[in-house]
Chains A and B, each alone.
Chain A
Amino acid sequence: MSNVISFKDVSLNFGGVQALKNISFDIQENSLFAIIGPNGAGKTSILNCINGIYKPTNGSIEIFGEDTSNLEPDEIANAGVSRTFQNIELFENMTALDNILIGAHRHINYGPVQGLFFSKKARNEEEKARKISEDVIDFLEIEEYRYSYIISLPYGIQKRIELGRALAMQPKVILLDEPAAGMNNEETEDIARFILDIHEELGITVILIDHDMNMVMDIATEVVAMDFGEKLFQGLPEDAAKDQKVIDAYLGVSG
């Protein structure tokens, strides 16, 4: 098992606020890696550092063994790291299918001039992207929403389409920022099932942030617990539930 992502003493400051304090961990290939912690613990900051939206103030991040401090977010995406966002960031003025096609952007390869005249190559490439997108649509069971505009779709479906956009990239690593937030039990179970399928069937390394402890405990293979920008715990999910520091920070101190 090789490391897909390594954090080495990563700190992230915004002015006087320390969002991350000397965080180190390794994420192994094919793991389902969960990051838990209360609000403001720095979970999303970790994802933003991985996909390059934030650059660490100190320390370094390696993805597939390569230092990412000089890479732009689009370069990191093209290396095979896709993500969803905490507050859905779909392109609302487009259809579900177009959104998913944008996810497949990195697999489409032709020049602007070929695009203008829709050359044979451009058509073939667009067909290939369409094929990838249709596979994703099948996988997530969203066939009926294909041509609907995002803005007209319910929240739970939007979440699923955002997941679809991330999958259409055919990533090696997928970052999921609270995929089950704001969902009812049934929808949460659906999402958990999809995440397991992504992990097991597609063999993609999953990095998951969620507040739903039951779901995280059920599906994660490894857990990191965060509080106030510090790493409290790293290990198996069943051990996290027993760890006193995690219980204090996340589940609350009793009495």
Chain B
Amino acid sequence: MITFLQATFEGLSLGAVYSLVAIGFVLIYKATDVLSFAQPALVVVGAGLISALAVDRGVPFWIAFIVGILLTGIIGLVMERTFLRPMVGEPVFSVAILTIGIDILLRTVLNNWIGLNPRYLGDPFQSFGNFGSVNVGGVTLKYLEIAALFTGVIIIILLSVFFKRSKYGVAMMATSYDQEAALAQGINVGRIFGLVWLISGVLAGFAGFFITGGFNTLTQASFLSALRVLPAVAIGGLDSIPGAVIGSLIIGLTQGYVAYYQLMLEGVIGFSLGSGFSLIAPYLIMFFILIFKPDGLFGTKEVERV
């Protein structure tokens, strides 16, 4: 039972982090029709910025945290303005390839900076006692994971009210449905695009911190964790924000359960699945779900542009 709770907690915390990136991905797709494969790169760039400020430059952590996340948002904004705005109206496929180009660019620069040694983010979570964790009834709750879960939930609640109730959210919905009609209502579509990329960048920055914070550290391989957002989005459906959250939770929980129950599972099936199977499991789940629901669990049926 304790193992189960432990795995569930870790899975939910991970899922909350993935859902931040997944929401950004879906937002961009909904509002601008762009499949942005650069989102996972933005995640690690955000972490890199925080680390560079907090550790290399010695800026107090919380300032570095806020500045790093805002800078990630601004990088998103600049990417949209410089690379993607001129591509409005071009085939979705070309634009998607362009975002892969941006992804490679960002990661090359970042990996060059990271180098061979893991980078710490200078956050307070590693220095708390017990390796930064608290024990509740036998379940080890890492402070970083608790923070991730809380931050994720708060951001999701704030954003869902924002999208439903504020003029910006309603304008985003309108823009995603019909740009011409949105323009005729006096909505500045360009500004909405910019806002969407800014929000997505900020969300990626938050996720970057939680994925690489504490003892997780930022390495050249951290990107692989961020990449797991793609199966989450595919499972949820490319154009559904609730789908993005649920897809992310499915991926997070899968990873959590497989990590703890793999041995038991191997005992039942009689052969080894190899180390690191928990990292592959999300993709298997994705294949399985897409066989039955090709548009994802919550995706619109006629997403004709993929």
Tell me, in angstroms, the Cα distance from A251 to B182 when the chains sit together: 36
B158 within 8 A of A: yes
A36 within 8 A of B: no
Please pick, from B161, B173, B182, B186, the residue contacting A106 in the complex, using a CB distance under 8 A.
B186
* A105–B181 touching, CB < 8 Å: no
If A89-B178, A112-B195 touch, does A105 touch B166 (CB 8 Å cutoff)? no
Question: At the interface with chain B, which of A9-17, A77-85, A190-198, A200-208?
Answer: A77-85
Give residues of chain B (162-196) contacting chain A, Cβ–Cβ below 8 Å: 162, 165-171, 173-174, 177-178, 180-189, 195
A165 within 8 A of B: yes
Please pick, from B162, B170, B178, B182, the residue contacting A98 in the complex, using a CB distance under 8 A.
B170
Q: How many residues of A contact B (CB 8 A)?
A: 36
Please pick, from B159, B167, B173, B178, the residue contacting A126 in the complex, using a CB distance under 8 A.
B167
* A102–B171 touching, CB < 8 Å: yes
- For chain B, the bracket of interface size reads 20 to 34
Please pick, from B168, B181, B188, the residue contacting A89 in the complex, using a CB distance under 8 A.
B181
* B177–A115 touching, CB < 8 Å: no
Please pick, from A85, A93, A115, the residue contacting B167 in the complex, using a CB distance under 8 A.
A115
| Min distance, Cβ B303 to any Cβ of chain A, angstroms | 14
| Min distance, Cβ A122 to any Cβ of chain B, angstroms | 7
If A74-B186, A74-B189, A105-B186 touch, does A115 touch B169 (CB 8 Å cutoff)? yes
* B174–A102 touching, CB < 8 Å: yes
Question: In the complex, which residue of chain A has the Cβ closest to the Cβ of B161?
Answer: A118
* A51–B187 touching, CB < 8 Å: no
**B residues within 8 A CB of A105?**
167, 170-171, 185-187
**B residues within 8 A CB of A74?**
183-189
Question: In the complex, which residue of chain A has the Cβ closest to the Cβ of B188?
Answer: A74
| Min distance, Cβ A68 to any Cβ of chain B, angstroms | 14
**B residues within 8 A CB of A72?**
183, 188
A241 within 8 A of B: no
Tell me, in angstroms, the Cα distance from A116 to B180 when the chains sit together: 26
| Min distance, Cβ B167 to any Cβ of chain A, angstroms | 5
| Min distance, Cβ A54 to any Cβ of chain B, angstroms | 11
Tell me, in angstroms, the Cα distance from A78 to B184 when the chains sit together: 9
Residues of A with Cβ closer than 8 Å to B? 51-53, 72-74, 77-78, 82-83, 85, 89-94, 98, 101-103, 105-106, 108, 110, 112, 115-118, 122, 125-126, 129, 165, 169
Residues of B with Cβ closer than 8 Å to A? 158-159, 161-162, 165-171, 173-174, 177-178, 180-189, 195
| Interchain residue pairs A-B with the least CB separation, the first 4 | A115-B166, A77-B186, A73-B183, A89-B181
| Known pairs A74-B186, A77-B183, A112-B168 / 8 extra A-B pairs, C-beta < 8 Å | A73-B184, A74-B187, A93-B177, A105-B167, A105-B170, A115-B162, A115-B169, A122-B166
